[in-house]
Amino acid sequence: MAASLALRVVASLPATALRTGRSAAGAASGSPRSVNAERWESRVDDVPGKAVSERDAEVDAGLGVAVQAALEAVTAAPPGHPDRGVVLNNLCYALLRLFLRTGELAELARAVAAGREAVALIPGDHDGRITALSNFGSVLRFLFERTGEAAAVAEAVAIAREIVVSTPDDHPMRAARLGDLGVVLLMQFERTPHAPLALPHCS
């Protein structure tokens, strides 16, 4: 399997969304790369010289292509296919980006389903597991913010804990991942103050 890819995405460039989709579609021609939202940075207004409406149209078109390519990759990797977990993670990411663009809760629900299956399929020793956990955790946080579902934030906490436990002490992302765990624990406490907050040993 190819190592996971931490992809820096600029949302206003449709070519980037095309690359995201093509990474998912790679299942048809070899092991696909896994797209990661953990280090994602994006600003629609970063591209000068374009009217907002023109940039918006390009973003919408690019996201549509990316989601369609990710869906086709999942179809090409049916249950039992060794790359199914990776392409489902890419679909989760693409649908999350689509939700952030449209605000449609249905897209977020689809991202949750894809992310949950991806995490279930990608084994603990796979290079792409942390990527899939990170993407799924992000989706769960947005779901909790939109719906207030206690189960969503509880699952996000469990995901963040697994990420921290799986991160070596000298890893450059350990501090950021510990910070993410703190954020979701705070979200859980603020919204559901009676939820248990037993902290794991993360060293």
- The ranges assigned to domains in the chain are 14-107
CA distances from 106 to 24, 98, 102, 103, 132 (A): 21, 10, 10, 9, 20
CA angle, residues 126, 97, 110, in degrees to nearest 5: 75
Question: So what's the pLDDT on residue 56?
Answer: 72
Here the tokens at position 103 are: 């605000």
The radius of gyration of the chain from alpha carbons, rounded to an integer in Å, stands at: 17
Instruction: For the chain, 203 residues long, give each residue's pLDDT as a single digit of tens.
Output: 333 333 322 222 233 333 333 343 443 345 556 665 554 433 333 444 445 566 677 777 788 899 999 999 999 999 999 999 999 999 999 999 999 999 999 999 999 999 999 999 999 999 899 999 999 999 999 999 999 999 999 999 999 999 999 999 999 999 999 999 999 999 999 886 665 655 555 54
Tell me the HSE value of 192 on the side-chain side, using a 13 A CA sphere.
Answer: 18
Side-chain-side CA neighbours of residue 115 (13 Å):
32
- The SS3 assignment for 124 reads coil
Q: What is the pLDDT of residue 49?
A: 47
Q: How many CA atoms, within 13 angstroms, populate the side-chain half-sphere of residue 177? A: 27
